[in-house]
Amino acid sequence: MRLFHIATLALLLLAGGQPAIADDGYFIHTVTKGQGLYSISRMYGVTEAEIIALNPGSDQMIRAGQQLRIPQKSGSSTSYDKPASGGKRFHAIKAGETLYRLTVMYGVTAQEIMDANPGLTAENLKVGQVVLIPPVSDKTLQVSSSEVHMTVTPTQQTQQKTTTTREISVEQLQTAKSKTPDCKKQHTVKLFETIYSLSRKYGVSQEALIAANPSLANSKLKLGQVICIPYTNEEILAMEKDAASSKESSSEETSVSSDEPAEETPSSGDGYIHTPWDGLNVALILPFMLESTNRSVSSDQSKMVEYYEGFLLAVDSLKHLGVSMNLYVFDSGDAKSSISDILATEGMSHMDIIFGPMHASHIAEAATFARQHNIPLVLPFARDVDQVYDNPMIYQVNTPQSYLNSEVFDHFFATFRKPNVLFFGKQGATPDAFCTALQQELMARGFSYTTNRADTTSNVSHLMEYCDPSADNVIMLTTSDRDVLSKMLPTFQLMARDTLAEVHLFGYPQYQIYATNHLDAFYECDTYFYSQFYTNNTLPDAVAFHKLFSRTYTRDIVNRYPKYAILGFDMGYYFLRALSQHPRDFAQQLPRFRCRTIQTGFRFERVNNWAGFINNKVNFIHFSKEGELRKIDFDE
């Protein structure tokens, strides 16, 4: 009976040991850099209104380090790209709590917690960190030993906890094993597979896998390695019973010797035949809209074609470095269409990485697919992606505005230690959202600013009165509009010439396109602007790429922001090189992976323990009054 008592204790922990996070139905979230109410609400599957109700004033501004009460919804699901699974809870780590303590509190294993939180390990658990607690599995709960096998279903937990299945002796099990083939099937190891994932896939314990493959005891799985998948104890006994029944019913029937199992082609079970690894399998899903007759889509088509052409040059460059790959390209069509047929293509579930798609409706489909099949999904263009807050397979290149603002603000105050900002706005026009956010940040940090009309008739000497000789005087338009900049630049040049104080013009990413027509003025005004995508066409890498593109495709790259051909090259080169060097731990290594790119900066950080990655890389471009053009990398 000793075993029964142990089993009962385990079941009590699973059934009734889950504590409430807080008596008032909320847990505490500590705001990190870049997070806003929108992103936080998406992380936890609640509404902004619900957060504001628990945190009065949070609708005005929230800052990094601030603590927010988040409503804890029993049975809620945070996913925006799959059916609600229910039973998920969040836990904010308190002092003294460990990963083991969480397993006891919630009745789930440490591995299940880490699977639900890919960014979490026992080592990086810290106070204040929020962890997604996976639901207790609806499958049969099992407690086993070498002496007895007991099965109790969730219903039986509450109705009849003393019910057990028949006992299986060690002798019975050993006899059955001696008559059973050693391997149920052979499995060829694919990218990202682990001993644990295979144990879950085939329903055998990790110990059984290692016992069937002794070489795994002291080494990790290797790509393309063929391993033995053993039978479970239940399958062994079932086979013994079937064999005995068959023998009794037909003594004349010839049986196949259990010592010689039939040869089986390794397969995933879905009809796709696995072969030894012969390179990366890469899918590219873009809206080429080849079947569209709408002329208005020609601009988007041009961008997608250039992106694809740049991507092909990256593939070619990597092949010269010895990286082998197979590229599959699909036309996703317009936003009204579905990409379900593309995702159902034979072999798609065995891609090593997917780039695209572009349209929001397609992203939802692709995100669900990527999560189901554990495939990294790189989103090249979209900025507003709800799924990144809940899907660990997503890599968002184009930074969400709140995260972008946070990075730019940090760089702004590192560049201008004592800012005195003079804003110039067009009368009746709504200021750019970035400009409004910067004004709020200035006030929050204790710096004042002035607002002026973007009027070329303004008296320059009057404007000079707002400059402070002891401060970093920053001139900024409240809009990125080209015409407003063109009209105001002469005034800004006069201010830069006539003042004894330091004056700097600060602008928007679009300024890299405007620079061609205003180069002298930019230098004279000591101009700065921020950008995720910047190409200095005079640098050797950019010159070489332009020549290669022109030679390959017999035309020049379109001068726009960003340059899509270089965007495609940078993304293809960066991600595929990282994946080829770190095929087994790609997600863990990518935040630390660095390689030289031409236009696009990459620095990926996971949004939270259970979510995807966002690219937080932003540079400043500086046209100095000394005539020097410099790309400022704040990570160097």
CATH of the domain at 526: 3.40.50
415 lies in some domain: yes
Residue 317 has pLDDT above 70, yes or no: yes
For residue 233, what pLDDT is reported?
65
505 lies in some domain: yes
Do 27 and 105 fall within a single domain?
A: yes
Distance of CA 509 to the CA centre of its chain: 24
Do 376 and 437 fall within a single domain?
A: no
Do 525 and 549 fall within a single domain?
A: no
**Identity of the amino acid at 140:** T
Do 525 and 539 fall within a single domain?
A: no
Which residues lie across from 503 on neighbouring strands? 473
Say whether the peptide bond before residue 562 is cis (omega within 30 degrees of 0): yes
487 lies in some domain: yes
Residue 245 has pLDDT above 90, yes or no: no
What is the per-residue pLDDT across 462-474, written as a single tens digit (0 to 9) for each? 888 889 989 999 9
226 lies in some domain: no
Do 506 and 524 fall within a single domain?
A: yes
For residue 124, what pLDDT is reported?
83
What is the per-residue pLDDT across 388-441, written as a single tens digit (0 to 9) for each? 999 999 999 999 999 999 999 999 999 999 999 999 998 888 899 999 999 999
For residue 66, what pLDDT is reported?
93
**Identity of the amino acid at 239:** M
The model's confidence at residue 515, banded by pLDDT at 50, 70 and 90, is very high
DSSP conformational letter for 387: G
User: Sign of torsion, CA 537 538 539 544?
Assistant: positive
Do 10 and 111 fall within a single domain?
A: yes
Percentage of the chain exceeding pLDDT 90: 53
Do 525 and 376 fall within a single domain?
A: no
State the pairing for strand pair 377-379/394-396.
Answer: parallel
Neighbours of 554 (CB within 10 A): 7
Do 330 and 372 fall within a single domain?
A: yes
Counted residue by residue, the chain has a size of 636
The model's confidence at residue 538, banded by pLDDT at 50, 70 and 90, is confident
For residue 186, what pLDDT is reported?
75
Q: Across residues 338-344, what is the average pLDDT?
A: 95
Do 114 and 44 fall within a single domain?
A: yes
For residue 88, what pLDDT is reported?
66
d(CA 443, CA 460): 26
Do 129 and 6 fall within a single domain?
A: yes
Last residue of a domain, one of 133, 152, 169: 133
Domain CATH number, residue 310: 3.40.50.2300
What is the per-residue pLDDT across 477-497, written as a single tens digit (0 to 9) for each? 999 999 999 999 999 999 998
41 lies in some domain: yes
Q: Which one is predicted more confidently, 27 or 178?
A: 27
User: Sign of torsion, CA 289 292 293 295?
Assistant: negative
The model's confidence at residue 100, banded by pLDDT at 50, 70 and 90, is confident
Parent domain of 443: 402-531+624-629
**At 599, which helix (H) or strand (E)?**
none
The model's confidence at residue 500, banded by pLDDT at 50, 70 and 90, is confident
d(CA 527, CA 506): 6
Domain CATH number, residue 84: 3.10.350.10
Do 304 and 386 fall within a single domain?
A: yes
293 lies in some domain: yes
Percentage of the chain exceeding pLDDT 70: 77
- Which residues make Cβ contacts (< 8 Å) with residue 95, sequence separation at least 6? 127
Which residues lie across from 302 on neighbouring strands? none
Neighbours of 633 (CB within 10 A): 11
80 lies in some domain: yes
Q: For the chain, what is the domain count?
A: 3
Do 8 and 129 fall within a single domain?
A: yes
d(CA 519, CA 342): 46
Last residue of a domain, one of 75, 107, 133: 133
Q: Across residues 350-366, what is the average pLDDT?
A: 95
pTM: predicted TM-score of the whole model, two decimal places:
0.74
358 lies in some domain: yes
Last residue of a domain, one of 133, 164, 188: 133
